[in-house]
Structure 1
Amino acid sequence: MMRSYEIKRISPAVNKTSQKIGPKILVNPYYGCEHQCLFCPANDGFLKRKAFDDFREKGVIRVVENIIDHVDNYILNNDYAKVIHLSPVSDPFQPVEAELQLSRQIIKHAADINMPVAICTKGSVPGELYPLIQKHPHSFVQISILTINEAKRKMLVRGSGASVEELLNEIEAMSDYGIRIIARIDPIFPYITDDMAEFEALVDELKKRKVRYIVSSVADVIEGALDRERGYLEAIQPGLSEKYTNLYTEKINGRLHANTEYRENIFSKLKEICESKGLEFGITWEPDINGNSINHKYSHQISNML
């Protein structure tokens, strides 16, 4: 897909559901994500916003020109706002950031007003931003590294994103700089990245780079996305689409999830591997068949950072 973008004021730029998950200001400067990850909830239409439809259908990335004004207004009107979360939906360091630098503006602004920033990315965080991130003791960076296998990473992050080697080097550089790092091996894609030997090899590499916290999940699928990606799954592995159809049998809150037995088996193994190496393990929000969170079974102190 050829990239294009337009500058457009979008309101709200800050997701006002943030009050439901505590003191986070959820900031998305970009609508649409060039990484084009398999089963991306934003680009697959879960948010049901025209801005994301425009990216999926036309390759248009919309951006928020006055993002700092939105952030300041939200802080002014919400006393509970304690941390700027950049960016929970579209990657803040996708390629368009190199041109428009909205994420840089937000990180600089967070430093100027002495507010911590939580960053989540599959891209590369420029070294020039390290001092600004490190300035606040409660800031941290979540680096999403799906697998140690670069060929598999390219299958899953189909548009852009940093390579496995680049991500590992970046983690090491930020750790050495004193920035708190969470490694997100997230999500696990069944029958593609659920190889425990590869997971353990990645954990070993992360530990060498001073990572203490690892987070994971199992990919969920927006209704209709499995049908759209059926041909792609077959290209990865003949019969893979049927395996996904048979595995993704639990419809919870509008998404298809791998059955609970599979997910809990995966999480138990991942936790065992991490804890055997002295690392803390947690999961992102994961529901049981009734829609209740199962995080408490696998997450402890790490859940307070997310």
Structure 2
Amino acid sequence: MHQPIRILKENRIGQVLQPPLIPCQRNIPAVNIARGCSFSCVYCYARGYSNAPRKDEVYVYSNLAEKLIQELENPRRRKPWPRYVSLNTSTDSFQPYEEVLAISWQVMQLLLQRNIGISLLTKGEIPPEFITLFQRSKERVAVAIGLVSLSEAFKTRYEPGAASINDRLDTIARLTRAGINVRVRLDPLIPGINDTPAEIRDLFQELSCRGVNTVSVSYLMMRPGIMGQIKRELPAVHYKLLEGYFQYRPRSFIAASQNTQLISPVLRLRRYEEIKALAAEHQLKVLICSCKNPGLAADLCSQPEQEFLSATRPSNNTRQLSLFK
């Protein structure tokens, strides 16, 4: 059973619009509405950050909207407004708590009111009022849903606090019906756990019938903090299996981390080709994240959002001239 979560409040200190850390998000400022995440995904890299709170705590930035307005409206600001921002790269906008949802609403609304687009990834269930908000500015909203398995057993073990599989599938369907730009992220695929052809074929079938046309895919990146979480929170057989895939792999600087391991490139390449073939059966386009697959022919996995959101007309505000720099 997922442990109870304490939602606490604190003030955001420092700049709200943060420059991106990974190449696929270049030129796209990020905004996080909280520190910590109630979803407690075992594979989450952000849980290993030095300022990450305890697993059962989420600190919501209660002054975030006010600080964001101050940054954007500061008469001494020289930078143009960004065309769009990436929301919650180390937490989730749609954790099912009133305090989290209230701040998410404030931030999204104030950005969209200023014709600043939003790009977000969530493993949560998006409430109807947010979809209505997005629909009013759908040319400035791009949503990615994280869904890596149809198995509730996998979800319970690896993503204990995230929305149920059915809730995420329902969210995808509601977004596509509303005409909102949506894709699905199969990230991470975990070797020997959720990457069998049968499981991926079934997942693609469910996505296709809900109107999805693009998926981005990447295998698990292993870091010491993630391996520690796996060892503490998963059955020993899972830890041993994953240890076997990563034990002798070199550590490199990948996706803004010095101490990252990837499974064999030969294995990844073979699996990606198999996944592309399965996707073709359902007319799905597959993007392989280049940040997480150095040395392989891969894609800028945020490219669909960048092309979609950058194509919108800028605000009349003279400061909104180009992407954040």
TM-score (norm 2): 0.80
Q: Is the 8 A contact 2:7 2:57 kept in 1?
A: yes
Range that drifts further, 221-230 or 35-44: 221-230
Q: What is the number of residues matched between the two proteins?
A: 294
Matched, 1:274 2:275: no
Quickly say closer, same or farther: Cα 1:64–1:28, change in 2 above 3 A: same
Cα-to-partner distance string for 1:169-228 (whole Å, 9 max, x where unaligned): 111111111111111122101111011111111111111001111111111122243244
Unmatched tracts of structure 1, length 5 or more: none
| RMSD over aligned Cα atoms | 2.7
For structure 2, the 5+ residue unaligned runs are: 309-325
Instruction: Pick the aligned partner of 1:144 from 143, 146, 168.
Output: 146
1:290-305 equivalent positions in 2, closer than 5 A: 294-296=297-299, 302=304, 304=306
For residue 60 of structure 1, the aligned residue among 52, 57, 60 is 57
% identity of equivalent residues: 21
Q: Spell out, residue by residue over 1:217-264, the C-alpha distance to the aligned partner (whole angstroms, 9 max, x if none).
A: 111122243244225444454842442444x61312121222222222
Quickly say closer, same or farther: Cα 1:37–1:274, change in 2 above 3 A: same
Kept in 2: contact 1:39–1:225 (CA 8 A): yes
Q: In structure 1, what is the Cα distance between the partners aligned to 2:78 and 2:68?
A: 10
Counterpart position of 1:217: 218
Once the two structures are superposed, the pairs formed by residues 223-262 of structure 1 within 5 Å of their partners are 223-230=224-231, 232-235=233-236, 237=238, 239-246=240-247, 249-253=249-253, 254=258, 255-262=260-267
Matches within 5 A, 1:104-119: 104-119=105-120
Give TM-score scaled by structure 1 length. Answer: 0.85
Change (3 A) 1:242 1:293: closer
Q: Distance in 1 between matches of 2:87 and 2:302?
A: 23
Counterpart position of 1:84: 85
Q: Which has the higher contact order (CA 8 A, sep 6+)?
A: 2
Question: How far apart are the structure 2 equivalents of 1:174 and 1:3?
Answer: 28
Report the CA distance between 1:89 and its aligned residue: 1.3
2:124 equivalent to 1:120: no
Following TM superposition, by how much is the alpha carbon of 1:294 offset from its aligned partner in structure 2, in angstroms?
A: 4.3
**Cα distance, 1:151 vs. partner?**
1.2
Partner in structure 2 of residue 29 of structure 1: 33
